[in-house]
């Protein structure tokens, strides 16, 4: 499956595994890359040597290309980029900040860069500074979402109509149907986060995985809209954060609450914040990464063939 995104990634399929803080480490990134996708190690929350170790772990598990994600606003962004360069990483994704802060060094090192965006204006700015592609993420996605809460279905075609660089669709994609839909909107690649949480290789607690399987179509919510909006599974902790936010609590107070509950049992599904997108309602079983990607490829091809017969 060759197109501009697959060429940038160096992967068999234009499927990016979304970065998730302290979750998507070397093992799952390698599993995704081995299976034909593009695995991504999340640098957020990692000290430099731990990031270097995770890159080396991934390389010991696969000879396929993989990358790292760098949240640009974090203090370790430049350090993470230098580690990626030193360790021979060829493609990175960046998010949460101005890509212009990194682009000069990225170009000097010959690294390829895809920037996560949540609006058309953000996509235009990313293209303007020289990134090679954008990952446009709708508000259906898990984790931190754009403040304007633009849905994937309307965001993708508007970004495609605005920029000349390739667009990767993210948010609400978890099977072959979503993949074909994204391509119908003009995307040349997809990024998935939540769907990879529900895989055997993912290191999250089994209770977290089961909560994703049990989620319904209304099983998530956006907490902390006034601060740092984040989509999570709906439970007591998520509702408590929403109440704190709506009552005017400061970001520091919300952070203190989240830090306190994070120390609880991994088996407690009600008093933990668990990032997940609305696609959780579609996920019915835990699979290996390889099974997931093979199933998606087969389903996408079947859906595309059936559409060809319809139109």
Give this prediction's pTM.
0.91
d(CA 49, CA 68): 14
- pLDDT tens track for 166-219: 999 999 999 999 999 999 999 999 999 999 999 999 999 999 999 999 999 999
Instruction: Decide: 11 and 64 in contact? Cβ < 8 Å.
Output: yes
Nearest to 35 by CA among 238, 200, 225: 200
- Give the count of beta carbons closer than 10 Å to the beta carbon of residue 164: 7
3 state DSSP class of 237: helix
pLDDT, position 276: 94
Our separate counts of H helices and E strands in the chain read 13, 11
Sheet holding 15-17, edge to edge: 15-17, 189-192, 167-170, 133-137, 112-117, 91-95, 66-71, 39-42
Please state the rounded mean pLDDT for residues 45-59.
92
Domain with CATH 3.20.20.70 in the chain: 4-201
- pLDDT tens track for 81-104: 999 999 999 999 998 888 988 999
Task: Please report which confidence band the pLDDT of residue 263 belongs to, taking 50, 70 and 90 as the band edges.
Answer: confident
Looking at domain 4-201, its CATH architecture is: Alpha-Beta Barrel (3.20)
**Residue 118: which residues within 8 A CB-CB, separation 6 or more?**
136, 137, 138, 139, 145, 146, 147, 148, 150, 155
pLDDT, position 253: 83
- pLDDT tens track for 94-144: 988 889 889 999 999 999 999 999 999 999 999 999 999 999 999 999 888
């Amino acid at each position: 499956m060759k197109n501009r995104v697959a060429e940038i990634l160096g992967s068999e399929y234009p499927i990016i595994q979304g970065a998730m803080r302290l979750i998507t480490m070397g093992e799952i990134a390698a599993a995704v890359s081995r299976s034909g996708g593009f695995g991504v190690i999340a640098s957020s929350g990692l000290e430099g040597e731990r990031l270097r170790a995770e890159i080396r772990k991934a390389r010991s598990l696969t000879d396929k290309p993989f990358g790292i994600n760098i949240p640009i606003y974090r203090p370790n962004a430049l350090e993470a980029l230098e580690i990626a360069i030193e360790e021979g990483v060829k493609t990175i994704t960046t998010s949460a900040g101005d890509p212009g802060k990194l682009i000069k060094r990225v170009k000097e090192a010959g690294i390829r860069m895809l920037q996560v965006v949540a609006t058309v204006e953000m996509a235009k700015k990313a293209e303007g500074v020289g990134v090679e592609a954008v990952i446009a993420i709708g508000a259906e996605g898990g984790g931190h979402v754009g403040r304007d809460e633009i849905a994937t279905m309307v965001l993708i075609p508007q970004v495609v109509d605005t920029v000349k660089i390739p667009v990767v669709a993210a948010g609400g994609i978890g099977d072959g149907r979503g993949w074909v839909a994204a391509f119908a909107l003009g995307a040349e690649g997809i990024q998935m986060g939540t769907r990879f949480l529900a895989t055997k290789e993912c290191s999250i607690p089994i209770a977290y995985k089961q909560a994703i399987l049990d989620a319904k179509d209304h099983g998530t919510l956006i907490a902390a809209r006034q601060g740092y909006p984040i989509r999570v599974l709906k439970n007591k902790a998520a509702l408590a954060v929403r109440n704190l936010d709506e009552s005017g609590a400061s970001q520091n107070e919300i952070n203190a609450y989240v830090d306190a509950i994070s120390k609880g049992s991994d088996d407690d599904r009600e008093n933990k914040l668990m990032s997940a997108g609305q696609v959780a309602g579609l996920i019915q079983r835990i699979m290996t990464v390889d099974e997931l990607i093979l199933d998606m490829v087969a389903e996408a091809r079947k859906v595309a063939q059936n559409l060809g017969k319809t139109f």
